[in-house]
Amino acid sequence: MQYLIDFGNSRLKWSIWDGSALLDQGTIDPLALESGLRGLEWPQIDAVYLCSVADPDLTHAVAVYCDSLSSPQCQTIEVDVSQLPAWFSLGTTLPEQIGKDRVMAMLGAFAENTSYCVIDAGTACTIDYVTSGVHLGGYIVPGLALSRSSLTLQTARIGEVADRLYSAKLEPGRNTQQAVEHGIRMSLVAVCQRAIQHAPAALESVVITGGDSQWLSGHLSGPVTVRENLVFEGIRRFSAGL
C-alpha cells in the first residue's frame, strides 16, 4: 500500500492506495502537520509519494517525518517533474517553472493520442492544455476564495455568507454583497468557458478537479467531467511509471 500526499499552500491532502484501489483519504491543516501525520496508519505502507508546492524546507521536513513514522523498508519519494514518464512531455516548459500539482493533474487525465483540457478549480484556478501527451501551456487565475479576499470582503462580510448569497442562475445581484459574489463566480465561469472555446487544439475532453469543481462544471458547456482525485491519480501514475 502507498500513501500519496498532495501538499498545497493551504492544506495537505493524503490518500492511501492498494494498487488502483483508493482505500481512504483526508486532509491535514498545515498548522497541525506533525499530529495529523502521526495519527495516520503507517505499519503496512510500502512507499510514500509526496507532491508538494509548499516551501522546500517544509516539504523536506514532511518527507523526513514520514520516513520516521514508517517502517525501515518504506521510502518517501518526492515527485520530480523533471523525471516524467516517456509518454508525457512538458514541451518547452522547464520543470522548475511549473507547479508539480498541475503536472500531476495532467498526468491523471492523460489519454493516449487525445487533446484535453484540465481545470483545477482551487484557491487558484489553473487551466492547462495537453495534446498527444505534450503540454501546450495554460492559464492561472484567482479562484473563488482568492477573488473574495482580494476585494476586501472582510468589511463587506461576504466571505461569511457566500453560500447564502449565491444563486445558481448568477443573475445580477440585488445588493452589493450578492453583486460581488455573482460577479466573482461569473468571471471564473467566463474565463474557463473562453479557455475551452479558444483552446490551441480541438478538445476531446475537459476534466475538472479541485474544491469548486462540482459547482463550476454545472456552468460550463461541452464534454466536461469532474474527477475529484485527479492529482492523486496523476501521482499514482507517476509512481507506477504507467
Walk across the sheet containing 12-18 and list its strands.
Answer: 21-28, 12-18, 2-7, 47-52, 75-78
- Domain span at residue 95 reads 80-242
Quick check: 49 pLDDT over 90?
yes
SS3 content of the chain, % helix, strand, coil (to 5): 40, 25, 35
Could you say which of 78, 100, 124 is where a domain stops? 78
- The reply to whether 132 and 183 lie within a common domain is yes
In this structure, the number of other CB atoms found within 10 A of the CB of residue 61 comes to 14
Has 101 been annotated as catalytic? yes
Task: Report pLDDT digits (tens) over 95-146.
Answer: 999 999 999 999 999 988 899 999 999 989 999 999 999 999 999 999 998 8
Domain count within the chain: 2
Whole-prediction pTM: 0.90
Helices and strands per DSSP (H, E), number in the chain? 9, 10
Catalytic residue among 24, 29, 55, 101: 101
- The reply to whether 62 and 108 lie within a common domain is no
Task: Report pLDDT digits (tens) over 142-192.
Answer: 999 888 888 755 555 555 555 555 666 788 988 888 888 899 999 999 999
- Cα 11 to Cα 31: distance, rounded to the nearest angstrom: 9
| 33 residue type, one letter | L
The pLDDT value recorded for residue 157 is 58
- Cα 142 to Cα 133: distance, rounded to the nearest angstrom: 26
- The reply to whether 107 and 152 lie within a common domain is yes
Could you say which of 34, 51, 78 is where a domain stops? 78
| 218 residue type, one letter | G
Could you say which of 78, 99, 130 is where a domain stops? 78
- The reply to whether 60 and 130 lie within a common domain is no
Closest C-alpha among 103, 82, 100, 74 to residue 16: 74
The pLDDT value recorded for residue 156 is 54
The pLDDT value recorded for residue 208 is 98
- The reply to whether 224 and 182 lie within a common domain is yes
Q: Which three cell numbers stand for residue 242?
A: 504507467
Q: CATH number, domain at 186?
A: 3.30.420.40
The pLDDT value recorded for residue 175 is 84
